[in-house]
A and B are shown apart, each in its own frame.
Chain A
Amino acid sequence: MTTTQPSTADRATSADGRPATGPTGTGSTATLVLGVIVLLGGALLAVLGLALTKPDVQLGERMRPIYVHVPTVSAAYLLFVLNAVGSAMWLWRKSRFWDQLAAAAAEVGLVFLGLTLLTGAFWGRITWGVYWDWDARLTSTLVMFLAYLGYVALRGSILDPTTRATRAAVLGLGSALLIPLVHKSVDWWRSYHQGSTLFGELDPSMGGLQLFTLFLGLTVGMALAGWLLIHRFRVGWLTLQVEEGGLTEAIDARRAEAARASDGTSVGAGPAASVRSDEDPS
């Protein structure tokens, strides 16, 4: 009787068994270039945001955190939307690519949302006088942070890749329902927090070098998010290859052992025979 032996080349297959190809390292020339662009853009943003732009007519120097705060929250929103897209695509196509993309987007989005809470706390201290208040926007943002922390915790607590991907996808779609709630919280409830910076009705509105710097911050923030996303995706993909490869190798070894046993050639070969020979005092 012959059996089809899965080879280790079939690692990281889709859920229906189709082999998948993917990255073999954590970086590439393109990510290196992107990283350099992020560094240069960050340096330019620091010069513009801290030195060259004029202070705000109302907030004065205290408005400068906006060049970091708005980009981090925008990147977090975008990454969580990407997580929802990846989750829906996993449930539809059962492709490991979408699952890994959703996982990477959630983790990087969590980092950016954490930075948003941190920069927001410092900004709150210098404008409102407190680091934290149970304001609608602040509270809903914290709730979203905890929801995606739960997403990451759920992924970490399930060993089987397919079960993990399906359950995380459902949770990712459920958590995405919080995004509009957080975004509209300043309109629906009374809030200290200002309305939308870019597309809202701020008075006075931003313009000139201030607006350019804000858009530069958004561009740098998105590029940094993309750079981190690509690297996290690649690390996740390679980890999955090791996980599934390890399982495949274990199954290969077990099948080979069973084949040797059925052919009567197992005496003196393999771990099982070793145990038996150890037990035999002669």
Chain B
Amino acid sequence: MSPGLFWVTVTFAAVLSVTRSAALESEPGVNDAPGCRAWRPAALFLGKALAVAAQLLALEVVLALTMAVLYRTPLSGLALGLATMVTATAGIAAVGTLLAALASSTRGRESLVPLLMLPVLAPVLIGATRHRRGARWLRRNRGLALVALLGVFALSYLMLGALAYRPLMEDS
């Protein structure tokens, strides 16, 4: 149960974090500020995703230690756990940053962001909570296979976000 609680907490924190991040950016003139104009949109997207990922990773460290104490969760397989945390967090941050940008300045964005984020993140959350059980198609290195799947997911959304951020900024 503890991996599920862990990732649900991280997901809700991510929803709050990216909604706040997008709300700040949607203020008039923010994207035209000299500090922002110097950067390419792809770099802005990656920077925002990195900032969200850093916040989430900090939360995850505190959360993991707390859960290890409260729920007596064994910390075995630390390397695999860390790899899962990093790849899943990268995916959550990429998806969240992109989708929050899509929903910024819309009617009911507070409801829209979780509606958009949760279905897309469902494979990440399932993969992250089950990284020890693994997938059927690579039995030998099943944990690593799921980490690889999480990595592909994160990379796909990071690329999509980096490519899409320019038209999003131009048309907003």
Contact = CB atoms under 8 A, between A and B. Distances in A.
The size class of the interface chain A forms with chain B is 20 to 34
Nearest to B172: A163
B160 A166 contact: no
Nearest to B117: A150
Interface of B: 95, 98-99, 102-103, 106-109, 112, 115-116, 118-120, 122-123, 126, 135-137, 153, 156-157, 160, 164, 167-168, 170-172
B106 A91 contact: no
Q: Is the interface of B mostly helix, strand, loop or mixed?
A: helix
A171 B118 CA distance: 13
Interface in A134-177: 139-140, 143-144, 146-147, 149-150, 153-154, 157-158, 162-163, 165-167, 169-171, 173-175, 177
A128 interface: no
A167 B168 contact: yes
Nearest to B108: A157
13 contacts: A143-B119, A146-B115, A147-B116, A153-B112, A154-B103, A154-B116, A157-B103, A157-B106, A157-B109, A166-B170, A167-B171, A178-B123, A188-B135
Nearest to A187: B137
Given A175-B120, A177-B160, 17 more contacts: A143-B119, A150-B119, A153-B116, A154-B116, A157-B107, A157-B108, A163-B171, A166-B167, A166-B170, A169-B167, A171-B102, A173-B160, A174-B95, A177-B153, A187-B137, A188-B137, A189-B135
A187 B135 CA distance: 10
Tell which of A139, A157, A173, A190 has the most Cβ of chain B within 10 Å: A157
B157 to A, nearest CB: 7
Interface of A: 91, 139-140, 143-144, 146-147, 149-150, 153-154, 157-158, 162-163, 165-167, 169-171, 173-175, 177-178, 181, 187-190
A241 B119 CA distance: 33
A170 B167 contact: yes
Given A140-B123, A146-B118, A188-B135, A154 B168 contact: no
Given A140-B123, A158-B106, A171-B102, A150 B116 contact: yes
B157 A174 contact: yes
Contacts of B103: 154, 157
B112 A144 contact: no
Contacts of A171: 99, 102, 116
Nearest to B169: A166
B112 A173 contact: no
A190 B156 contact: no
Nearest to A185: B123
Contacts of B171: 162-163, 165-167
Given A153-B115, A154-B103, A170 B160 contact: yes
A167 B107 contact: no
Contacts of A189: 135-136
